[in-house]
Structures are given as structure tokens and as C-alpha cells.
């Protein structure tokens, strides 16, 4: 009798657990809908937009503070030294101290500077980046705007950073600032090309520019593992190309040449101080967060769980878990990889990353048309599935690695030694 009772109540318990997980998954959507009930119905669109703005600023503003302290502590560990450890428990209140310092420091504007452009440059850098977060899906039903051309909007909003860098360098009326701005623009334009090219295979095989639909295309599991784009040869190659280009686009080490303090003081930031400097600092981290979120969406399945049995956890948890893991990789690279020369940086972009990104487009095409021409594999028969997929994997991965080897050898050919000329 007891066994019968247990068997009869188990479906009800499972149903209650599923309901609880669904509630946790949609808790932020539910809170937003509850808050909208306090707003007149004709003002719901404006209220919804304001609530989304407050949520995005709160989440990524907090992420900015946490990332700065964790990065400084992580770099201290990597370099065998102490990180911040004085302000608050274990130094975790250091971001608050830094914010107070930036707010109270004197704002110095050079006498010959263009004061209007000097003032607008940090604003032009930060505001468009906040807009880019609006199209990222942070969880199931958790994107502020669901645009059919969401990825186009993302890159259009992010492209304003080049204008802000030029405004900062030109308006400062300082040669170091202008040189730093020109270096920054050259770097950002150069690496924006492979950054965009690396996303095209995802758009080709997903058949959409909508970021939510791209995430949905990566839903489901094969043998219990998520069907993410990064688990295909073209997806793995595109992910690596995207991450390298995103590092340079965000001015992160080893591509932090626009602010090379050993060569041009602080680059286009030389004449900035106080809160304006803090806005530039914030803008760089926000740009890093934005491209990291896009990498998660395009290649790592977005908010989808990596394994089938982990799907019970909230979708937003998986998005931010992947997001945090990629941020840790950026910090690790900053602490371990030395800075490049500027000629090496540009050669690497135009002679290596761009051709590889174009080759990856061909690889994605071969992967797609091979799946159409060959028999569709059955997940219920693992051996048949492997026999069908393995040749595609070998053909696509072999083509990409052949291009990688050829381009690497061409780029590393020994040339005439560099000659230096000095003013007499």
C-alpha cells in the first residue's frame, strides 16, 4: 500500500518541481510584469523600456565593479604580488573607493582643447554600448528588444566607439592624444573586419539575424550534450577568431596599444581626468561585456544548458555562467600574454585573421551542403551517426587547419632585419 501511495504522488511532486523551476526561470520577467501593474496601461511601453534600462544598468554596472576588483586580484596572483587588500573585507570595497576618487578628482580641460568635443567624447563612447545590450537575450524571454536584425543593430551601435576615440584625440589638442587616437582607430577598424566575418557562418546556417532565433537554433541535445555552434568545426574556428578580434576591439592586452603608456603616455586619454576618465574606463569594460555576451549568444548556445540533465537550472543562470567564464579567460590572457608591436598587430589582422575568416565561410558552406547531400544521421543509432558526421568533420576541420598552417608559415617568413633611423 505504501508503494502504491508513493507511485501515485510522484507525478504531483514532479509537477510541483517543474513549476518551481519554471517560476525561477521566469522570475525577472514576472517581477517586471508585476511592476507594470502600478503604471497606467497607456504608459506600459515607456514603463517597460525604463524597467529594462534600469535592469541592464544595474546588472552590468555591478559586473563592472566586480570585474575590476577580481581582475586586479587575479593579476596579482598571476604576477606573484598582492592585489587590493586594504579597503573593506579582503579589499572588495576597492571599487567604491575608486568611484569616490574619480568623482572628487579635479576635471582639467586643456586651454587649447575643443571643450564641446572634449566633453562629449566619453558620453558618445558609453551611451551606444548601453544600447547594444538591449538586443542580447540574457535568458528565456529576457531580451529588452526582439529585433529581426538584432545583430545588425548590435554592430551599428558598437561602431560609435571609433567616433568617440577620434573625438577624444582630436579635441585634446595634444600630439600624444592624436597619435593614440589614430592608433586606436586603425586597430578597431582592422579587427572589426574579422569580428564581423567570424559571425557570418552563424547567420548563414541559422538563417536569421535575430539573436533570439539564433539561440533557439542551438536548443536541444545530441546524446545529452547541447547542440551549440562551437561544437562544429566552423563554429569552433569562428569562436576562436571572434574572441581574438573581440580582445583587440576592446583594447585588451595583448592588443592594448592605443593606451601604450610606455610609448604614448595614455594615448587618447592623456588629457582626461576625473569622472570623464572614469567614463572611458567604464566604456571599455562595457564594450568587453557586450562582445562577450554576443559570443555566448552566437557560439555557446546562449541561455541553453550544456547538458540535458542540467536544464532544470534557470536559463539566465547559464547565460551569466558562460559570461563569467569568458571574462576569466580575458583576465588570464591579460596577465600572461605580452603586448605586440603595432606592425605585428596590423599584419596579424589583415594577413592572418581576415583570410582565415573567409576560409571559415567556405568551411561552413561545405558543412551545410554536405549535410544536405549525405544521408541524415539518426541520433537513435550512435554508430551510424558517427559514421555520417565523422567525414564531414574531417573534411571541414582539415580545410581550416590547412589554411591555418599555410597562412602561419607565410606570416612567419624571415624578412630583412628592421632598420631604425634616428634624428641627427
- Residue 424 confidence (pLDDT) above 80: no
Mean pLDDT computed over 146-167: 90
pLDDT bin (cut points 50, 70, 90) of residue 269 is: confident
- Residue 394 confidence (pLDDT) above 60: yes
Q: Which of 90, 59, 89, 93 shows the shortest CA–CA distance to 77? A: 90
405: in domain: no
Mean pLDDT, the chain, rounded, equals 86
Same domain, 147 and 284: yes
Same domain, 170 and 289: yes
State the cell numbers at 370. 554536405
- Residue 378 confidence (pLDDT) above 70: no
Same domain, 138 and 214: yes
Same domain, 155 and 254: yes
Domain that holds residue 15: 2-38
Same domain, 125 and 211: yes
- Residue 261 confidence (pLDDT) above 70: no
Q: How many CA atoms lie within 13 A of 172 on its CB side?
A: 27
What letter does residue 88 receive in the DSSP assignment? S
**pTM, full prediction:** 0.90
In the prediction, which pLDDT does 414 show? 67
Burial class of 315 by CB neighbour count within 10 A (0 to 12, 13 to 18, 19+): buried
23: in domain: yes
Same domain, 164 and 300: yes
Same domain, 33 and 109: no
Distance separating alpha carbons of residues 56 and 47, to the nearest angstrom: 14
In the prediction, which pLDDT does 74 show? 92
Mean pLDDT computed over 299-323: 92
Strand locations in 186-233, DSSP E?
221-222, 225-226
In the prediction, which pLDDT does 199 show? 96
Burial class of 212 by CB neighbour count within 10 A (0 to 12, 13 to 18, 19+): buried
In the prediction, which pLDDT does 423 show? 65
Same domain, 305 and 196: yes
Same domain, 28 and 149: no
Distance separating alpha carbons of residues 155 and 58, to the nearest angstrom: 23
How many domains, in total, are found in the chain? 2
Distance separating alpha carbons of residues 94 and 96, to the nearest angstrom: 5
In the prediction, which pLDDT does 34 show? 92
> How many residues are there in the chain?
424
State the cell numbers at 178. 592624436
Last residue of a domain, one of 338, 362, 397: 338
In the prediction, which pLDDT does 56 show? 95
Amino acid at each position: 500500500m505504501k508503494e502504491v501511495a508513493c507511485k501515485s504522488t510522484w507525478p504531483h511532486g514532479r509537477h510541483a518541481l517543474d513549476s518551481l523551476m519554471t517560476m525561477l526561470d521566469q522570475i525577472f520577467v514576472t517581477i517586471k510584469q508585476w511592476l507594470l501593474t502600478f503604471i497606467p496601461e497607456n504608459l506600459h511601453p515607456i514603463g517597460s523600456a525604463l524597467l529594462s534600462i534600469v535592469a541592464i544598468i544595474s546588472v552590468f554596472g555591478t559586473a563592472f565593479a566586480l570585474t575590476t576588483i577580481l581582475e586586479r586580484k587575479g593579476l596579482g596572483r598571476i604576477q606573484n604580488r598582492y592585489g587590493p587588500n586594504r579597503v573593506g573585507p579582503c579589499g572588495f570595497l576597492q571599487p567604491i573607493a575608486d568611484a569616490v576618487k574619480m568623482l572628487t578628482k579635479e576635471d582639467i580641460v586643456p586651454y587649447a582643447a575643443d571643450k564641446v568635443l572634449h566633453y562629449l567624447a566619453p558620453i558618445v563612447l558609453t551611451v551606444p554600448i548601453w544600447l547594444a545590450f538591449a538586443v542580447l537575450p540574457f535568458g528565456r524571454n529576457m531580451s529588452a528588444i526582439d529585433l529581426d536584425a538584432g545583430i545588425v543593430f548590435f554592430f551599428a551601435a558598437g561602431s560609435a566607439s571609433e567616433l568617440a576615440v577620434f573625438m577624444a584625440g582630436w579635441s585634446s589638442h595634444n600630439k600624444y592624444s592624436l597619435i593614440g587616437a589614430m592608433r586606436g582607430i586603425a586597430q578597431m577598424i582592422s579587427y572589426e573586419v574579422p569580428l564581423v566575418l567570424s559571425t557570418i557562418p552563424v547567420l548563414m546556417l541559422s538563417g536569421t539575424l535575430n539573436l533570439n532565433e539564433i539561440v533557439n537554433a542551438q536548443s536541444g541535445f545530441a546524446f545529452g550534450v547541447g547542440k551549440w555552434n562551437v561544437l562544429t568545426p566552423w563554429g569552433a574556428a569562428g569562436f576562436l577568431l571572434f574572441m581574438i578580434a573581440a580582445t583587440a576591439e576592446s583594447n585588451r592586452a595583448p592588443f592594448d596599444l592605443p593606451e601604450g603608456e610606455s610609448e604614448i603616455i595614455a594615448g587618447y586619454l592623456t588629457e582626461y581626468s576625473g569622472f570623464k576618465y572614469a567614463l572611458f574606463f567604464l566604456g571599455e569594460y562595457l564594450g568587453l561585456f557586450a562582445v562577450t555576451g554576443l559570443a555566448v549568444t552566437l557560439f555557446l548556445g546562449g541561455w541553453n544548458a550544456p547538458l540535458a540533465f542540467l536544464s532544470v537550472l534557470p536559463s539566465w543562470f547559464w547565460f551569466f555562467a558562460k559570461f563569467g567564464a569568458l571574462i576569466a579567460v580575458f583576465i588570464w590572457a591579460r596577465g600572461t600574454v605580452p603586448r605586440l608591436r603595432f606592425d605585428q598587430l596590423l599584419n596579424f589582422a589583415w594577413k592572418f585573421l581576415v583570410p582565415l575568416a573567409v576560409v571559415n565561410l567556405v568551411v561552413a558552406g561545405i558543412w551545410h551542403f554536405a549535410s544536405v547531400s549525405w544521408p541524415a544521421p539518426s541520433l537513435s543509432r550512435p554508430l551510424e551517426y558517427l559514421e555520417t558526421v565523422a567525414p564531414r568533420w574531417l573534411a571541414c576541420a582539415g580545410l581550416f587547419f590547412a589554411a591555418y598552417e599555410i597562412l602561419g608559415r607565410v606570416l612567419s617568413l624571415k624578412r630583412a632585419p628592421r632598420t631604425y633611423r634616428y634624428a641627427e
